[in-house]
Amino acid sequence: MNSYKIAFLNSKGGVGKSTLCILSALGLSQTRFDGKIKLIDTDSQKSSLSILNQVSSKIELDFIPFNHASPNLGVSLLDQKLKTYSVKEEIILIDTMAHPPRQLVNCIMQCDSILIPCNLSEIEILATIEFVKMLDSLKKLQGSGSPHLIIIPNKVPPKQVHINQLVDALSEVDVVIGPTISDLAVFKNDLKGLSKKISNLPQNYKSQYIGFRDFIYKVLVKRKIDKLIAGENETHNESAETENVIPISKNN
Ligand SMILES: Nc1ncnc2c1ncn2[C@@H]1O[C@H](COP(=O)(O)OP(=O)(O)OP(=O)(O)O)[C@@H](O)[C@H]1O
Ligand SMILES: [Mg+2]
């Protein structure tokens, strides 16, 4: 398949789905990837579309209107777009709304990766874990080992270094923990201009942006994650039946 599909999903609102989707599109547009980058916004608020509008001609923007009362039309449109064969290599990023309808979640399960932003408060962690367990059970039903479920700790206070609380809470679920994204003004106020100004930004902003971009491109799209997981299973053969939590840690 020539396309790599990544959805940004969480039942909770305001956790950073749109922010990380936008950061991914901008970051990918600066990599060596010369295929198509397509962002599909399924949220009626159109946050991703309005911010990225006219920022980069490399990013193709699309909107699927979703009506919560009758989501089937939106789901079948999305399904069609995800199943369309592309001759050129492409990466499809899908931004979703809070409380996504079940039909949308089912459709999203055909993606290669699902990124789940999570803020590190106890309440958010508990809600996210329930949601991830539900995704994990859908994934098991598919039996294909896909999509990868990836938690991105987002809006982490800059001075907080440990994410143990989240790692411990996720120990029974088959998820990967991606790079930590701090609560930084630049991710709130200047997303659009970020990719242009990145080299002049303070080191901590720069390394988070580049770390996240590399995670999306090198680990996910270039499928290093499959090797990492295969490697993990080899070294822990005796527990091959148990779930993995592979903290890829900060900015890897
Ligand atoms: N790493 C970050 N640092 C600072 N602010 C952030 C960060 N990530 C997100 N925000 C801010 O948090 C708020 C919510 O983010 P965002 O809109 O991306 O969440 P969402 O999950 O898409 O929300 P919704 O469910 O409403 O679609 C926004 O004001 C955004 O600017
Ligand atoms: Mg959003």
pLDDT in tens, the chain (252 residues): 589 999 999 999 999 999 999 999 999 998 999 999 999 999 998 989 999 987 877 899 999 988 888 899 999 999 999 999 888 999 999 999 999 999 999 999 999 999 999 998 888 988 999 999 999 999 999 998 899 999 999 999 877 767 788 888 888 888 999 999 999 888 998 888 887 788 888 888 889 999 999 999 999 999 999 888 887 655 444 443 334 445 554 333
| Sign, Cα dihedral of 181, 183, 186, 191 | positive
Interval between CA 8 and ligand 2 midpoint (Å): 9
Task: Print the domain residue range for 86.
Answer: 3-247
Is 137 within the bounds of a domain? yes
Determine, yes or no, domain membership for 97: yes
Alpha-carbon torsion (188, 189, 191, 194), positive or negative: negative
Is residue 111 in some structural domain?
A: yes
Q: How many structural domains comprise the chain?
A: 1
Whether 188 maps to a domain, the answer reads yes
**Omega into 147 within 30° of 0, i.e. cis?**
yes
Q: How far apart are CA 138 and CA 7, in angstroms?
A: 15
Which of 10, 18, 43, 120 to mutate to test ligand 1, by most ligand atoms within 8 A of the CB atom? 18
Ligand nearest to the CA of 9: 1
Residues 155, 129 contacting (CB under 8 angstroms): no
Query: Could you tell me if residue 252 is inside a domain?
Result: no
In the chain, the amino acid numbered 200 is N
- CA separation for the pair 236, 230 (Å, rounded): 10
- CATH number of the domain to which 12 belongs: 3.40.50.300
Q: Check residue 35 and report its DSSP letter.
A: S
Domain-embedded: residue 182: yes
